[in-house]
Amino acid sequence: MVNAHHVKHVPGRKTDVADSEWLAQLGRYGLVRPSFIPPRDLRELRLVSRYRQKLVATQAAETNRLHKLLDDAGIKLGGLVADINGKAARAIVDGLIDGLAPQELVKLSGRLKASREDLLASLEGDLSARHRWLLREIRDHLHELAAHLAKVDATLRDAMVPYAEAWIRLQTLPGIDEMAAAMILIEMGDDLSRFGNAGRFASWAALCPGNNESAGKKKSGKTRKGNTMLRYLLCEAANGAIRTASVFREKYRGLVVRRGHNKAIVAIAHKLIRTIWFMLTRRQPYHDSGFDYAAANVKKNAPRWIKALKTHGFVVKLAAAN
């Protein structure tokens, strides 16, 4: 198979048959770039990992349906608990299904931070027999999904034995746990030399800035199409990395003010995938550089900021006030 993005710019022929013959001839002379075809083991594991992603999405949809059902019955439990699938919340939902009174349900709250009065007020709703029946169905479905996810996770852990070195190394990155590392590794493989360099690797995952320029004028820098699953996983990891004490958090804080959350997350995912390239090609775990993006931003822009303050008279006013 040839790279579709590369073939798009190669002159074609009139019919599909003639076009395929032309591409085959170009391939013999090495004039077209091949696509990345993962080995059979990774192709089969992709089926498992993407099935896991569907299970996670279904689990999230059922959880949202549980929230909606409770709200429909006038029970505002979702506003008092951080996780509706947590231990205390599950115990309260089980009590609602069993028809316990609000005073009895409060005793099941455990270590919830909400006060007894707030909890009682949130449980004063109109829960009908049909509400209880549907709650029971959703609860049982969530238990089944959790059991399926446990089986899939065990299968993926066993499948990572041949790739243990790269799998463990990926887990040293902020925001990436064992399942995220396994799914990322399944999408890209453990041999990144086939991509040539970190820039091409990021481009393959559709995480590098777009290069849309015409007549010397730069247009949209929107990222192009690529491996959507790897892009999704790395953006999810980026959302976790910005909550850790790492260089990714500092870079995000410098970008989010100017670019917004979504563009900043794509930039962090781009930094993650380039870091993954260097980690796996050099066979080294992740070591945080500790680079201070805030200080670098101030050093770069401070003269311009001070000049703007002087232009608009703010520096003079501050000096007079002192």
What is the tens place of the pLDDT at every residue in 159-217? 999 999 999 999 999 999 999 999 999 999 888 888 888 988 888 888 887 777 777 77
Domain shared by 250 and 192, yes or no: yes
Domain shared by 155 and 167, yes or no: no
d(CA 217, CA 238): 31
Domain shared by 213 and 276, yes or no: yes
Domain shared by 194 and 121, yes or no: no
Return all residues near 82 (Cβ < 8 A) that are at least 6 apart: none
pLDDT of the residue at 196: 84
Number of structural domains (the chain) is: 2
Cβ(307)–Cβ(264) below 8 Å: no
pLDDT of the residue at 318: 45
- For the chain, the average pLDDT equals 85
Of 64, 210, 196, whose CA–CA distance to 141 is shortest?
64
d(CA 249, CA 267): 12
pLDDT of the residue at 42: 92
Collapsing DSSP to helix, strand or coil, 109 comes out as: coil
Q: How many Cα atoms occupy the beta-carbon half-sphere of 257 within 13 Å?
A: 7
pLDDT of the residue at 57: 94
Other CB atoms closer than 10 Å to residue 127's CB: what's the count?
A: 18
Phi, then psi, of 34 in degrees rounded to 5: -75, 155
Residue 167 lies in a domain: yes
Of 242, 245, 240, 244, whose CA–CA distance to 254 is shortest?
242
Q: Which domain holds residue 111?
A: 53-159
Domain shared by 108 and 167, yes or no: no
pLDDT of the residue at 141: 94
Residue 302 lies in a domain: no
Handedness of CA 240, 243, 244, 250 (dihedral sign): positive
Domain boundary among 125, 159, 193: 159
Of 185, 165, 149, 203, whose CA–CA distance to 42 is shortest?
185
Residue 293 lies in a domain: no
Domain shared by 152 and 167, yes or no: no
Domain boundary among 95, 124, 159: 159
Residue 322 lies in a domain: no
Residue 77 lies in a domain: yes
Residue 206 lies in a domain: yes
The parts of the chain modelled with pLDDT lower than 50 are 318-320
Domain shared by 58 and 103, yes or no: yes
Domain shared by 168 and 269, yes or no: yes
Return all residues near 154 (Cβ < 8 A) that are at least 6 apart: none
Domain shared by 65 and 151, yes or no: yes
Domain shared by 135 and 169, yes or no: no
pLDDT of the residue at 23: 78
pLDDT of the residue at 37: 83
Domain shared by 147 and 188, yes or no: no
Residue 308 lies in a domain: no
d(CA 116, CA 57): 33
Q: Within its chain, how far is the Cα of 97 from the centroid?
A: 34
Residue 17 lies in a domain: no
Domain shared by 195 and 145, yes or no: no
